[in-house]
Structure 1
Amino acid sequence: MNDGRSPGAARTGPRILLSVEDEGWRTLLSRPADDLVREAVFAAADGAELAPSIGTEVSVTLSDDEDVQALNAEWRGKDKPTNILSFPMMPLAPGDAPGPMLGDLILARQTLEREAAAEGKSPDDHFRHLLVHGILHLLGHDHETDADADAMEALEISILARLGIADPYADADEAPDARH
């Protein structure tokens, strides 16, 4: 995948290694996945104030429910698919500079598609939201406490606004599962 540089251009975000393992992604999204991934990852990096010169890489895998369910069961003890899994290369606190490899993000197409339809969102917008959410996890943000959830949610909303995506939490119930 293009790493965000054109010949002679300055680096504008992390280098992205994209793998499409489920061909359904090509018809689900209205624009090429690499464009949407780049937009979301760069916006999240900018919003989290990750220095563009840091030279870090992130791996993004577009997979399916079956593979994500297996990973979720193995690594989180939850035998069900989820929309995105984030695997940081090393634990970070928000604001810490990452090393050369930020980590891995793996998305489940069918779960994303069901959620977007149920929530009346475009698959493209939901996709970019999940990528922003995943990048923030890789950068040390979490939603384990209400205060952390509020801070992460506010940052997500700000980043998504830059992408022209409405607040995804505006109509969510206050229950933690509805928020994240």
Structure 2
Amino acid sequence: MSSSDIAVDLQIACDNPNLPSAEQCQLWAETALGEYNKPFELTIRLVNRDESQQLNKQYRDKDKPTNVLSFPFEVPDGIDLDLLGDLVICADVVETEATQQNKPLFAHWAHMIIHGCLHLLGFDHINEDDANEMEAIEIRLLADLGFTNPYIVSED
């Protein structure tokens, strides 16, 4: 599988100066999806708080902005498509969380994209066993990128 087998459509729908580049988003999606050895297409949409809150309220009944929302594409039976789904990431929430958790901003961006891609693949963290499995994958993939464990909050 080559990197060209994972197509990322990056949509920027916010006015935040601290966004990752298209190349970074591509790398982080490839890191999450590359080991599955199949082509994937996904959209990553970077949004403001208002759009995040509206979508979170509409789809999760939570009236607040959130870091990442995952919308898996359900391929109809008998149709062969590589479309994985959409990630909607709130830039301001990611930036605020990185600051609050004392994490490098782009390490947190990488985590959110990897986390969202895993959701698109069907991973979840509703129960403890599933959460532990998903977190272990995230920790390993982020380590491959040179980032520390995102679940250890620094007290610095």
Q: TM-score, normalised by structure 2?
A: 0.89
Supply the AA of the counterpart residue of 2:11: S
Structure 1 counterpart of 2:151: 169
Question: What's the counterpart of residue 18 of structure 2?
Answer: 28
Higher strand share: 2
**Gapped regions of structure 2 (runs ≥ 5):** none
Q: C-alpha separation between the residues in 1 aligned to 2:136 and 2:28? A: 16
Other structure's SS at 1:151 match: helix
- Number of residue pairs aligned between Structure 1 and Structure 2: 149
CA displacement, residues 120-144 of structure 1 (integer Å, 9 cap, x when unaligned): 1121111111000000000010001
The answer to whether the 8 Å contact 2:102/2:153 transfers is no
Structure 1: tracts of 5 or more residues without a match: 1-9, 92-97, 173-180
Deviation at 1:11, TM superposition (A): 2.9
Residue 95 of structure 1 corresponds to: none
Per the alignment, residue 123 of structure 1 pairs with 105
Equivalent AA in structure 1 for residue 12 of structure 2: V
Task: Give the one of 60, 84, 106 matched to 2:88.
Answer: 106
The alignment-based identity, stated in percent, is 36
Q: Match for 1:50 among 18, 36, 39? A: 36
> Which residue matches 1:18?
10
Match of 1:142 among 103, 120, 124: 124
- Partner in structure 2 of residue 94 of structure 1: none
Aligned to 1:75: 59
Q: Find the counterpart in structure 1 of residue 25 from structure 2.
A: 37
Q: Offset of 1:99 from its aligned partner?
A: 4.0
In 1, Cα distance between equivalents of 2:27 and 2:60: 28
- TM-score under structure 1 normalisation? 0.78
Provide the rounded CA distance (Å) in 2 between the counterparts of 1:99 and 1:135. Answer: 17
Deviations 1:135-172 (A, max 9, x none): 00000100011000000000000000011110011238
The residue number in structure 2 matching 1:157 is: 139
The Cα RMSD (Å) is: 1.8
Q: Is the 8 A contact 2:47 2:91 kept in 1?
A: yes
- Partners of 1:23 and 1:87 lie apart in 2 by 23
> Is the Cα contact below 8 Å between 2:101 and 2:153 reproduced in 1?
no
